[in-house]
């Protein structure tokens, strides 16, 4: 008999690391498997964190984050969306991922259901499973206007014991972006049914038709059961910093502080100075990275779309392509084969929830020459393996 809880014993390693771990750091691999590019964080952000260390900011910070960073997040959100966010709604958990985990822990336990709008990044499923809740999925589908899902399909998938719904827009891996009227309809449902909506907006600045994706922040009231999760990893190229923010109902602020005590007792202090610099002076970086991602997206479309076995819907946001390879039997065997024979790292579709075993995900945030080379090699592999 195991001393581990059953929920922990049965957790699955995600398919991305399952493929990547044996070859991680191998310089002969073109790594399109993880959600990051190869650009190092901008100098002025690194300098701000270095300065903080040199000035002695090596102590604990407030468990909901330094006040000056929370104020900076509030100001940034006000500016971006034309709002006046109550500062008590903003907390800095450390990483956005930790923000999702804490949100899930706030409401879920054994006997509950959590509903995920898929395809979805696999860590989300595990963050829900750790609570003991049962997890179910409702899937976006291919349409003439790209990836799409009707809100009525999400609502129909809700069970009597559903206590949380997870929506990630712009979506990893499909690039789907939820429209404001769809957000409104879902929010009203969650409000009525008192279901916690976790709105993962980590890719809010990675959109290809504007400055920012539509946000639940623009419509959520302080008394709504909604946590909007976002962060620095993607738009400012700060994946290794493990820093993000959440906007939650202000009445939960004290609960958030208590939970944070037992997860990390607050985010790393000097990292928060880098985050402040990113918000204060980082708009140019955000725009440049977005432009780089946009070109990466164009390269993917140009190279993959003409192939007769590939079905590719152009992503509206995030920085992934999620192509279907017609006739694929196993996305895991495919990703492992591409790695072994062509030295390109991609993520197998199966790990993004049910219905995705004919798909693979690649990240187009890498520099363009490497990306081109990686894509050519994937096609070469497909042509060598017709069945």
Provide the binding-site residues for ligand PLP, judged by CB under 6 A.
Answer: 35, 95-97, 121, 168, 172, 200, 202, 231, 233, 239, 244
Q: Which is nearer to ligand PLP, 102 or 304 (CB)?
A: 102
Least separation in angstroms between CB 213 and ligand PLP? 12
Measure Cα distances from 247 to 182, 235, 275 in Å.
20, 18, 16
Least separation in angstroms between CB 97 and ligand PLP? 4
Q: Do 225 and 236 meet the contact criterion of CB atoms below 8 Å apart?
A: no
* Nearest Cα residue to 102 out of 214, 267, 221, 232: 267
Least separation in angstroms between CB 242 and ligand PLP? 6
Buried/exposed 115-141: b ≥16 CB within 10 Å, e otherwise:
bbbbbbbbbbbbbbbbbebbbbbbbbe
Least separation in angstroms between CB 117 and ligand PLP? 11
Q: Which is nearer to ligand PLP, 35 or 249 (CB)?
A: 35
> Taking each helix axis from N to C terminus, what angle separates 331-342 and 368-384, rounded to the nearest 10 degrees?
110
Least separation in angstroms between CB 75 and ligand PLP? 20
Helices (H), 264-308: 269-281, 283-304
Least separation in angstroms between CB 54 and ligand PLP? 26
Least separation in angstroms between CB 65 and ligand PLP? 14
Beta-carbon contacts of 33 under 8 Å, excluding residues fewer than 6 positions away, are 16, 19, 20, 335, 345, 346, 347, 362, 363
Reduced to 3 states (helix: H, G, I; strand: E, B; else coil), residue 312 is: coil
The CB-nearest residue to ligand PLP is 96
- Helix (H) or strand (E) segment spanning residue 327: none
Q: How far apart are the first and last CA of the chain?
A: 43
Q: Do 345 and 21 meet the contact criterion of CB atoms below 8 Å apart?
A: no
Q: Which is nearer to ligand PLP, 35 or 323 (CB)?
A: 35
Q: Which is nearer to ligand PLP, 200 or 224 (CB)?
A: 200
Q: How far apart are CA 100 and CA 248, in angstroms?
A: 11
Q: Which is nearer to ligand PLP, 140 or 233 (CB)?
A: 233
Reduced to 3 states (helix: H, G, I; strand: E, B; else coil), residue 200 is: strand
Q: Which is nearer to ligand PLP, 61 or 233 (CB)?
A: 233
Q: Which is nearer to ligand PLP, 303 or 365 (CB)?
A: 365
Q: Do 255 and 106 meet the contact criterion of CB atoms below 8 Å apart?
A: yes
Q: Which is nearer to ligand PLP, 244 or 374 (CB)?
A: 244
- The pair of structure tokens assigned to 132 is 């003991």
Least separation in angstroms between CB 245 and ligand PLP? 9
Least separation in angstroms between CB 379 and ligand PLP? 25
Q: Which is nearer to ligand PLP, 14 or 63 (CB)?
A: 14
């Amino acid at each position: 008999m195991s001393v581990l809880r059953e929920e922990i014993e049965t957790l699955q390693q995600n398919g991305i690391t399952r493929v990547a771990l044996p070859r991680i750091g191998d310089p002969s691999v073109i790594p399109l498997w993880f959600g990051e590019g190869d650009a190092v964080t901008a100098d002025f952000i690194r300098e701000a964190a270095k300065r903080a260390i040199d000035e002695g900011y090596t102590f604990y910070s407030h468990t909901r984050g330094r006040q000056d960073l929370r104020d900076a997040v509030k100001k940034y959100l006000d500016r971006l969306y034309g709002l006046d966010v109550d500062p008590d709604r903003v907390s800095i958990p450390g990483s956005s991922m930790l923000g999702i985990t804490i949100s899930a822990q706030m409401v879920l336990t054994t006997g509950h259901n959590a509903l995920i709008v898929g395809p979805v990044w696999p860590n989300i499923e595990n963050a829900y499973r750790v609570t003991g809740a049962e997890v179910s999925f409702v899937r976006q589908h291919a349409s003439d206007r790209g990836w799409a899902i009707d809100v009525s399909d999400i609502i129909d998938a809700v069970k009597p014991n559903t206590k949380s719904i997870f929506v990630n827009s712009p979506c990893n891996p499909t690039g789907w972006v939820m429209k404001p009227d769809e957000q409104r309809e879902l929010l009203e449902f969650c409000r009525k049914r008192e279901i916690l909506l976790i709105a993962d907006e980590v890719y809010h600045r990675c959109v290809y038709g504007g400055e920012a994706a539509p946000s639940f922040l623009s419509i959520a009231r302080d008394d709504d059961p909604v946590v909007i999760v976002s962060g620095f990893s993607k738009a400012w190229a700060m994946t290794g910093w493990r820093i993000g923010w959440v906007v939650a109902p202000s009445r939960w602020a004290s609960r958030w502080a208590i939970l944070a005590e037992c997860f990390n007792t607050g985010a790393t202090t000097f990292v928060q100075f880098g985050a402040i610099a990113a918000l204060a002076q980082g708009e140019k970086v955000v725009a440049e990275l977005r432009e780089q991602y946009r070109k990466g997206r164009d390269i993917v479309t140009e190279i993959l779309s003409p192939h007769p076995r590939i079905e590719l819907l152009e992503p509206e946001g995030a920085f992934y392509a999620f192509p279907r390879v017609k006739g694929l039997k196993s996305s895991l065997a495919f990703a492992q084969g591409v790695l072994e024979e062509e030295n390109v790292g991609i993520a197998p579709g199966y790990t993004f929830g049910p219905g995705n075993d004919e798909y693979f995900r690649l990240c187009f945030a890498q520099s363009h020459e490497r990306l081109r080379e990686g894509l050519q090699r994937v096609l070469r592999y497909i042509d060598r393996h017709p069945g």
